[in-house]
Structure 1
Amino acid sequence: MYFTDRGIEELADRRGEETLTFEGLADAMRAFVDVHPEFEVAVERLATWLARPDDDPDL
């Protein structure tokens, strides 16, 4: 298990029953980058990866 899996597991445990749109996710990611601009590149890469799943042969 990667260290980041702990946060992912907490997210699934706490919010896993909720419904979220991609627009809602995009808003949350923008808000996160506003507070933590040092993570802008990582968030941008994640957003691009989520937007283009067909480009990844492992999916």
Structure 2
Amino acid sequence: MHLTDQAIEELQERRGKETMSMAWLADRLQYFIDLNPEFEIPIDRLSTWLARLDDPDDE
């Protein structure tokens, strides 16, 4: 198991029942980058990927 897998599982366990807006997520990602600028490229890639996902209702 990768460390990322463990982190994702922790996120699901701790926050999985919460509802959040994409605006809230974008704010949290921006705050994270402000504190950790070395992660700008991975967060940019994740944000772009999330923004371009197809609508699940279209499948």
TM-score (norm 1): 0.85
1:2 corresponds in structure 2 to 2
Secondary structure of 2:19 counterpart: coil
| Number of matched pairs | 54
Note the residue ranges of structure 1 that are not aligned, 5 or more in a row: 55-59
1:22 corresponds in structure 2 to 22
Percent same amino acid at aligned positions? 54
2:45 corresponds in structure 1 to 45
Amino acid corresponding to residue 23 of structure 2 in structure 1 = E
Displacement, 1:2?
A: 2.3
TM-score (norm 2): 0.85
For 2:15 and 2:42, the matched residues in 1 are separated by 22
Displacement, 1:47?
A: 0.2
Deviations 1:25-51 (CA, angstroms, capped at 9, x unpaired)? 000000000000000000000000000
CA RMSD of aligned residues (A): 0.8
Indicate the structure whose relative CO is greater, using CA pairs within 8 Å and at least 6 residues apart.
1
Runs of at least 4 residues of structure 1 off by over 6 A? none
